[in-house]
Amino acid sequence: MDKPIYRKPIYREGNASYNDSTLHYIRQAAEHGLYEIRGLGAKRQLPTFDDLTFLTASASRYPLEGYREKCDTKTVLGTRFAKNPIELDIPITIAGMSFGALTANVKDALGRAATIMGTSTTTGDGGMTPEERESSKQLVYQCLPSRYGFNPDDLRKANAIEMVIGQGAKPGGGGMLLGQKISPRVAQMRTLPEGVDQRSACRHPDWTGSDDLTIKVNELRELTDWEVPIYIKVGATRVKNDVKLAVAAGADVVVVDGMQGGTAATQQVFIENTGIPTLAALRQAVEALEEIDMLGQVQLIISGGIRTGADVAKALAMGADAVSVGQAMLMALGCNSPTYFQDGKEIDASEGYARLNTAAGYCHHCHTGQCPVGIATQTPELEQRLDPDWGARRVKNYLQTLNMELTTLARACGKSNVHNLEREDLAALTIEAAAMAGIPLAGTNWVPGEGL
């Protein structure tokens, strides 16, 4: 009789403190002696707009006909001081992303799609390219701490100015563009040596405190003869104080970027450990405007992880006048897609992802400049992987879908104008979301923290 085979079981006890990603982090730190830099936004699980639901019409409210009755999406930004406020057909704008981080083709595609859909796009930390000015009917010109390529001629061509104090991916931190992406054209626009690892300032060079900001905003007004709106963008941290200070400084529009907001390159420690979720940031921004009686006078744009028409509708219901979308626009263009389209053909991008030690769906390697789908690069061969005609169509389709979803939900809530969506139309699905958004938990009248 054969001896029984004894198989010693391998017991794998999970370790929540030192899990795969922590082990990977420690090994990387030990190997490189530098913090990890990456692109995109926070990947950790956070309360989001997914944790809210609409209380659409029934016996107590009546809905509008989905295909027959009009639902207005017109959005006006900058009504406080600007002689020429920005008038948009939809409340979904394209967020500031730099030429340098992205190719000129991508900036062109975003501009063209925005123009077709009647919305605005935004420059970034690298100045205004002629391509994006040409293709964008409404272009917001960012004034950033680095002031790379910032000049009065482009300032006068802008439809609005966005004073950037911070962004959700890295509130309190400066921009970053690694040497691989400082091509001759990028270097020339930014007055930098080619190939340098650019680490921008986190504070503006010509003002510091909020009193100075007031004077700076006034200078921008004077420079542009009070014609165009001035936005102030903050990364979401002490949102209530920052929104009030932005309003006190004279902003026409306040842009609040939550912690899911993206970047093309920053320290991972920043992306995952700073700021507050967009959901919480929006609630605090609206409350700040209410407390100083400026709701409706100063417009509010929320950004950071807006992906769907439902996200847009919920943001508007919570009190935003518009949303701004960055990362998802790039995903519409093929970011993290397994394939790209070149010369009319669909081509497998797996090899490109593999070269970066990643795979489609997991890539956040915008900082390397080796984008396998030709979006976040300055390498001529890779740039060819994104055809601007094809890209513009994709972004236009995506914007159109978001807008259709937005109006579908608004009509179902009985609203003939998407800006009439209100907090009362929402319920929260989790206690965390109820607490952060200040929206009652579904099936209750309970808002955690209320009345305390």
Partner 1 sequence: MAALENKHFDLGAGSVRDLNQFLHKELPASGIKHIEIENPDGQHSIAVGLDAPVEIDILGHAGYFIGGMNKEANITVHGNVGWSVAENIMSGSVRVKGNASECVGASGHGGLVVIEGDASSRCGISMKGCDIVVGGSVGHMSAFMAQAGHLVVCGDADPGLGDSLYEAVIYVRGEIRGLGADAQIEEMSEQDLSTVQALLQQAGFDYDPKTFKRVGSARQLYHWNADAHQEY
Binding region for partner 1 (CB under 8 A): 32-34, 146-147, 150-152, 155, 179, 190-193, 196-197, 199, 201, 205-207, 212, 215-216, 218-219, 222-226
Rounded to 10 degrees, the C-alpha dihedral 238/241/247/248 comes to: -140
- Of 269 and 431, nearer to partner 1 (C-beta) is 269
Say how far apart CA 287 and CA 238 lie, in whole Å.
Answer: 13
Minimum distance from residue 14 beta carbon to partner 1 (Å) = 32
- Of 14 and 33, nearer to partner 1 (C-beta) is 33
Tokens of 110: 């975003």
- Of 191 and 297, nearer to partner 1 (C-beta) is 191
- Of 23 and 223, nearer to partner 1 (C-beta) is 223
- Of 26 and 347, nearer to partner 1 (C-beta) is 26
* 203: Cβ contacts below 8 Å, ≥ 6 apart: 145
* 428: Cβ contacts below 8 Å, ≥ 6 apart: 51, 52, 53, 434, 437, 439, 440, 441, 442
Ranges of beta strands (E only) in 295-342 are 299-303, 322-325, 339-342
Say how far apart CA 281 and CA 237 lie, in whole Å.
Answer: 8
Alpha helices by DSSP H, listed for 148-267, are 152-157, 184-190, 210-223, 239-248
Tokens of 393: 């169509």
- Of 215 and 354, nearer to partner 1 (C-beta) is 215
* Angle formed at CA 334 by CA 328 and CA 338, multiple of 5 degrees: 125
* 295 contacts 269 by C-beta, under 8 angstroms: no
- Of 210 and 218, nearer to partner 1 (C-beta) is 218
* 326 contacts 303 by C-beta, under 8 angstroms: yes
Minimum distance from residue 243 beta carbon to partner 1 (Å) = 24
Minimum distance from residue 180 beta carbon to partner 1 (Å) = 11
Tokens of 13: 């006890």
- Which position has the token pair 């965390």? 432
- HSE-CB for 188 with a 13 A CA cutoff: 4
Minimum distance from residue 201 beta carbon to partner 1 (Å) = 6
Minimum distance from residue 191 beta carbon to partner 1 (Å) = 4
Minimum distance from residue 336 beta carbon to partner 1 (Å) = 26
The b/e string for 163-192 (b: 16+ C-beta within 10 A; e otherwise) is: bbbbbbbbbebbbbbbeebbbeebbebbeb
Say how far apart CA 369 and CA 181 lie, in whole Å.
Answer: 6
- Of 34 and 452, nearer to partner 1 (C-beta) is 34
- Of 224 and 407, nearer to partner 1 (C-beta) is 224
Alpha helices by DSSP H, listed for 100-232, are 104-117, 130-135, 152-157, 184-190, 210-223
Minimum distance from residue 222 beta carbon to partner 1 (Å) = 4
Minimum distance from residue 151 beta carbon to partner 1 (Å) = 6
Minimum distance from residue 159 beta carbon to partner 1 (Å) = 17
Minimum distance from residue 273 beta carbon to partner 1 (Å) = 17
CA-CA-CA-CA torsion sign (119, 125, 130, 131)? negative
- Of 188 and 444, nearer to partner 1 (C-beta) is 188
